[in-house]
Amino acid sequence: MFRFGCDYYPEQWSQWLAEGEARWEEDARLMAEAGFNTVRLAEFAWALLEPEPDRFDFTWLDRAIHLLHSHGLDVVLGTPTPAPPPWLLAAHPDITQVTAAGRRLAPGTRREACANHPVYQERSQAVVTAMARHYAETPGVIGWQTDNEFGCHDSARCYCPHCQATFRRWLEERYGDLDALNRAWGTSFWGEIYRTWDEIPVPALSAAERNPGHLLDFYRFSSWSWQRFHQAQIETLRRLCPGHFVTHNLMGFFPELNYYELSRGLDFVAWDNYHYHGATPGMVAATHIHMRGILERNFWVMEQQAGQINWSVTNPATPPNFVRLKTYQAMGHGADGVLYFRWRQALAGSEQYHSGLLDHAGRPTQGLEEARQIGQELQRLAPLLEGTEPTARIAILLDYESRWALQIQPHNQLLRTDHPPDFRLENPALAVDREDELEDQFLTGGAFEAWPFLAPAIALWEANVPMAIVSPEADLSRYDLVCAPFLNLVRPAVAENLAAFVEGGGALILGPRTGVKDSANRLFSQPQPGPLAALTGATVAFFDSLEPDRRNELRWEPHVNRMGRETAVGLWAEVLEPAGAEVLASYTQGWYAGRAAVTRQEHGPGQVIYVGCMGGPRLYHTLFEWLLPALDIRPLLISVPGVEICARTGPDGRRLIFVLNHTRHPQILALSAPKVDLLTGQHFTQNLPLQPGDVRVLQVAAERA
């Protein structure tokens, strides 16, 4: 069953409206009328569920669940641990986190608690256990969302005394003895040699830069802290509610937690899809793809934007068809559930300007009208979605520890991977290719890529070529091409995985700054790309970190680019020294003009291409236009710019093609064979018309993608 619905807060409306619980009946009726079948509840209701220590009151939630279920609506319950109740924080004020600057956060909001505080851990387990026992057999309850958005509001890392004590124990277990830690961190630099574990501080704000090994281990520890906290909830829910699924709502490309580790033990991941300032449709698509790649299975969108948001730079109104377009984009990339945030715009609290499907006065919004249309369309489409999933022959590797290493020492500050999404890269070499056309897409806020490591993903998305985004430790044997655009830190297991992939006949593309660091965040003692040099057949002679207004250009070899056009590059340029590898492209500017920038090394049927520079999607378009035909990898369909094509395939070979018009203008796609739009039943022979923001879903015979 495709899960379709919204996030609902009945406890808030009981307090805010004079009609109280009487409003619940009307809300449930309208939800069912819209075609909803699922509602999320209670992820911030701890203070109501446990109004004082060990006195639990589930009566109001029981009534809400029963009412919703009577209207055919199933319930996903949130464990309410992101918002500890005032009585708990008053009794234990040191539950709140301490910032890197040493300031203790004030209570009275959400996500202020420290994952390593023993009382917070104990009370969290108590409320989760009580809820799980109470609702294990409740009709209509189908699953759980643990907590809410771990790490949100800069809460991933805490520097309090509890974290310091736990960090020291974590280090002792990781290294065994201090000599091993001192060697790993290279503590003889600046005389940091530690003689007892109690000498090791949390790396709080300091006069000069912290040791990068110390910082990387603290980032690992902080991620592990929330993983441990999370795992305790998962285990409790598994033990007490074996018939329910367990998931968590992630935050896309959030950099501070290792989502591969955090998500272990979940049935599937969910994520919260908000179109932040500056996001392009390609960025949102890549995020869906990454969320599916966390566990390599289909996912949910637990919070789908239903209108304006309240927390970005300008928060514009969403145009007609926005909600419908974004919902079908999620489906096309593997979402088996979409829930809108929220049912009704809040009357009080911090998110009053965040839109709902109903506005603050209870009137239906454009978002609700589009949701109702989707609800009708799902009556036809949902059975066809059963058992289908995206498939791909190309994988892009995203490594959290490499991102952390680049956060710690970016060398070029414009390459930091922890900038918020609203940060804009002004370097034209990193912009997506069709600036004028992308400016015409829905709510771009400007065409740019905030994370340079996504350049190949954007290029593939623009070409309508399916991809996966997975861990570098994933099984790569199912793919023909693997791209590792920023594998800054190379662990031994990753090096072995990549070597096995190439030896098995795979094509591997490595990006700039590959193989600079080892797992302790030290530079390798051999030339870059370190342990991958034998694969690349080339090493990095030196690199140039370019100012934002300085660019270079690549001249491709004629067999790669017969048109002879040059590619602009910027921010980072590595000069490669071939040692058996052929040169695919060379620089044309400056004192290293004529030196190698892109090389290729064959390994029997396998090959490794090293891209030593940053040219954004444009660079990868040139590379893919040459490489993909040789690998017999083709687009799903040929479309016009701004029209996205994605697909889901079933075990019986049926394939559903999603056609999404992200532009503000009508478009027409040429068809190679007649097609039927599954949403409307319309037949099209030669041309497929699309209105602005329009969606078509086509069923075709299975083809190799």
Residue pLDDT, tens place only, 33-67: 999 999 999 999 999 999 999 999 999 999 999 99
What pLDDT does residue 275 have?
A: 81
Domain positions in the chain are 394-630, 643-700
Q: For this structure, is 386 an active site residue?
A: no
The percentage of residues in the chain with a pLDDT greater than 70, rounded to a whole number, is: 94
Please report how the helices 455-462 and 281-295 are oriented relative to each other, as an axis angle in degrees rounded to 10.
110
- Compute how many other C-beta atoms are within 10 angstroms of the C-beta atom of residue 165: 14
User: Given the DSSP bridges, would you call strands 596-603 and 582-587 parallel, antiparallel or unpaired?
Assistant: antiparallel
Confidence class for position 437, pLDDT limits 50, 70, 90: very low
293 beta partners: none
pLDDT of 252 > 60? The answer is yes
484 beta partners: 510
- Helices (DSSP H) in 386-466: which residue ranges? 400-408, 435-438, 455-462
Confidence class for position 273, pLDDT limits 50, 70, 90: very high
What pLDDT does residue 453 have?
A: 76
Task: Please write the tens of the pLDDT for every residue from 483-542.
Answer: 999 999 999 999 999 999 999 999 999 999 999 999 999 999 999 999 999 999 999 999
- How many residues would you count in the chain? 705
Q: Is 700 exposed, middle or buried (0-12, 13-18, 19+ CB in 10 A)?
A: middle
User: For domain 643-700, which CATH number applies: 2.60.120.260, 2.60.40.1180, 3.30.450.20, 2.40.160.40?
Assistant: 2.60.40.1180
Confidence class for position 704, pLDDT limits 50, 70, 90: very low
**Across residues 556-585, what is the average pLDDT?**
93
Catalytic residue among 50, 149, 462, 553: 149
Torsion sign (Cα): 532, 535, 540, 545? negative
Report how far Cα 83 is from the mean position of its chain's Cα atoms.
Answer: 23
Confidence class for position 433, pLDDT limits 50, 70, 90: very low
pLDDT of 180 > 70? The answer is yes
pLDDT of 448 > 60? The answer is no
Tally of CA atoms within 13 A in the half-sphere of 368 that contains its CB: 19
Q: Which phi and psi angles does 98 have, rounded to 5°?
A: -115, 130
pLDDT of 419 > 70? The answer is no
- The residue ranking higher by pLDDT, 338 or 415, is 338
Q: Which phi and psi angles does 510 have, rounded to 5°?
A: -105, 140
Which strands sit side by side in the sheet containing 335-341, from one edge to the other? Answer: 245-247, 141-145, 74-78, 38-41, 3-7, 335-341, 299-305, 270-273, 249-250
Coil, helix or strand at residue 646: strand
Task: Please write the tens of the pLDDT for every residue from 78-114.
Answer: 999 999 999 999 999 999 999 999 999 999 999 999 9
Q: What does 5-56 look like in DSSP terms, one character per residue?
A: EEE--HHHHHHH-TTTTHHHHHHHHHHHHTT--EEEE-TT-HHHHSSBTTB-
What pLDDT does residue 443 have?
A: 40
By the 8 A CB rule, do 264 and 232 touch? no
Q: Which two tokens stand for residue 608?
A: 């490794």
Residues 6+ apart with CB under 8 A from 287: 252, 253, 271, 273
- Compute how many other C-beta atoms are within 10 angstroms of the C-beta atom of residue 223: 24
- The residue ranking higher by pLDDT, 459 or 439, is 459
- The CA distances from residue 131 to 86, 246, 495, in Å, are 19, 14, 45
How far is Cα 551 from Cα 541, in angstroms, rounded to an integer? Answer: 19
| CATH 3.30.590.10 is held by the domain 394-630 | no
How far is Cα 340 from Cα 445, in angstroms, rounded to an integer? Answer: 22
Q: Is 616 exposed, middle or buried (0-12, 13-18, 19+ CB in 10 A)?
A: buried
What pLDDT does residue 702 have?
A: 57
How much is the mean pLDDT over the chain? 93
According to DSSP, residue 106 is labeled: P
What pLDDT does residue 562 have?
A: 80
Q: For this structure, is 303 an active site residue?
A: yes
Coil, helix or strand at residue 585: strand
Of 573, 576, 595, nearest in space to 586 by CA:
595
What pLDDT does residue 11 have?
A: 96
How far is Cα 421 from Cα 473, in angstroms, rounded to an integer? Answer: 27
How far is Cα 450 from Cα 431, in angstroms, rounded to an integer? Answer: 9
Of 682, 639, 642, nearest in space to 665 by CA:
642
Of 278, 478, 493, nearest in space to 389 by CA:
478
- Helices (DSSP H) in 563-693: which residue ranges? 616-630
Residues 6+ apart with CB under 8 A from 583: 557, 576, 596, 598, 599
Radius of gyration of the chain (CA): 26
150 beta partners: none
Task: Please write the tens of the pLDDT for every residue from 185-228.
Answer: 999 999 999 999 999 999 999 999 999 999 999 999 999 999 99
Beta strands in 459-537 (DSSP E): 468-470, 481-484, 507-510
pLDDT of 421 > 50? The answer is no
How far is Cα 10 from Cα 248, in angstroms, rounded to an integer? Answer: 21
* Site of tokens 């109903």: 358
Q: Which two tokens stand for residue 445?
A: 């806020």
How far is Cα 353 from Cα 343, in angstroms, rounded to an integer? Answer: 14
By the 8 A CB rule, do 453 and 511 touch? yes
Q: Which two tokens stand for residue 382?
A: 């949902």
- Helices (DSSP H) in 576-642: which residue ranges? 616-630
By the 8 A CB rule, do 695 and 658 touch? yes
State the amino acid at position 58 in one-letter form: F
Across 379-383, 428-432, 657-661, least confident range = 428-432
Coil, helix or strand at residue 702: coil
By the 8 A CB rule, do 340 and 367 touch? yes
What pLDDT does residue 427 have?
A: 36
**Across residues 309-314, what is the average pLDDT?**
87
Task: Please write the tens of the pLDDT for every residue from 358-408.
Answer: 999 999 999 999 999 999 999 999 999 999 999 999 999 999 999 999 999
How far is Cα 357 from Cα 368, in angstroms, rounded to an integer? Answer: 5
What pLDDT does residue 445 have?
A: 36
Of 682, 498, 491, nearest in space to 608 by CA:
498
For the chain, give percent helix, strand, coil, nearest 5.
35, 20, 45
Catalytic residue among 43, 303, 449, 574: 303
How far is Cα 4 from Cα 372, in angstroms, rounded to an integer? Answer: 11
